[in-house]
Amino acid sequence: MELQETQVNTMPRIGDMAPDFEAVTTKGKIKFSDFAKDKWIVMFSHPADFTPVCTTEMSGFAIRKGEFDALNTELLGLSIDSIHAHLGWVNNVKQNTGVYFDFPIIADIDMKVSKLYGMLQPNESETAAVRAVFFIDPTKKIRLIMYYPLNVGRNMDEILRALEALQTSDKFKVAMPLDWKKGDKVIVPPPKTLDEMQQRIDDDSLEKIDFYLVKKDLK
Ligand code: BEZ
C-alpha cells in the first residue's frame, strides 16, 4: 500500500533525466533510452481512447506531425488503454476523418509508465492519466512539463511554440520573453560583470529598456 502510494506520486521535474522504461506501443516495443536517439521527444498522455477531447488532441498531433519533424522531434503518445483499443481507435479515426496517428502510442495497461511520470493524478481521475506533455531534449533531460485536466484540451500552437522556444534558447544562449514566437526579439541574459554591462550600454543594435532588460534580433 505504502509502495503503491509512492509510485503514484512520483513526479519527475524540469531538469531531471527522463526515467527509462520499456513499453508496448502501436509501432512495436520500445526501450525509452534507445528511442529517438539525438532527437527531441514530445511525450504526451491522454485519458482514454474513443473519447471526444482526446480524439481532437491526437488528431492535432497527427495533423501537425510535419512541424514536429521539422523541429527534429519525435512524438510519443500514451494512455492506460490496451494495445487492442489503441489499434481500434487509430483505425476508427482514420476511417471517420482520414487522420492517421502515425506515431507510437504506448499501451500502458499496467500503468507503469504513467506512474513513473506522475501522469496519474488521483484527485483528478483514479482511472485515467491526465493530459501531460513532457518535452525531453536529445540528452533525455526533461525541459518542460505541461499538465491539463480531463475536461480541457491542450493548445497545439503553444506546444509547438514552447518546443521552438526551448530549442532557440539552447542554440543562441538567450531567453524568450512573454508570448515569444519565431522572428520576435529575444532576451539577452543579464550581464555578469561591469565590463559586460558597459558593453551592452554601448551597443546601439540592442533594444534596451534598462541594463537588465535587453532584447535583440536573432541573425
Ligand atoms: C475526452 O477526451 O473527451 C475525455 C476523456 C476522459 C474524461 C473526460 C473527457
Q: With pLDDT > 90 as the criterion, what percentage of the chain qualifies?
A: 89
Q: With pLDDT > 70 as the criterion, what percentage of the chain qualifies?
A: 96
Ligand 1 mean position, distance from CA 129 (Å): 10
Q: Which residues of 7-22 are buried (b: 16+ CB within 10 A; e: fewer)?
A: ebeeebeeeeebeebe
The structural domain count of the chain equals 2
What does the mean pLDDT of the chain come to? 94
Whether residues 120 and 90 fall in one domain: yes
Residue 5 has pLDDT above 90, yes or no: no
What residues form DSSP beta bridges with 131?
A: 148
Residue 2 has pLDDT above 70, yes or no: no
Instruction: Check which CATH number belongs to the domain holding 188 and give it.
Output: 3.30.1020.10
Whether residues 102 and 148 fall in one domain: yes
Q: So what's the pLDDT on residue 9?
A: 58
Whether residues 217 and 163 fall in one domain: no
Q: So what's the pLDDT on residue 145?
A: 98
Instruction: Check which CATH number belongs to the domain holding 26 and give it.
Output: 3.40.30.10
What residues form DSSP beta bridges with 45?
A: 78
Q: How far apart are CA 111 and CA 91, in angstroms?
A: 23
Q: What is the pLDDT of residues 145-199, one digit of tens each?
A: 999 999 999 999 999 999 999 999 999 999 999 999 999 999 999 889 999 889 8
User: Residues with beta carbon inside 6 Å of ligand 1?
Assistant: 47-48, 51-54, 128, 150
pTM over 0.85: yes
Range list of H helices, 98-184: 112-116, 156-172
Domain span at residue 207 reads 173-219
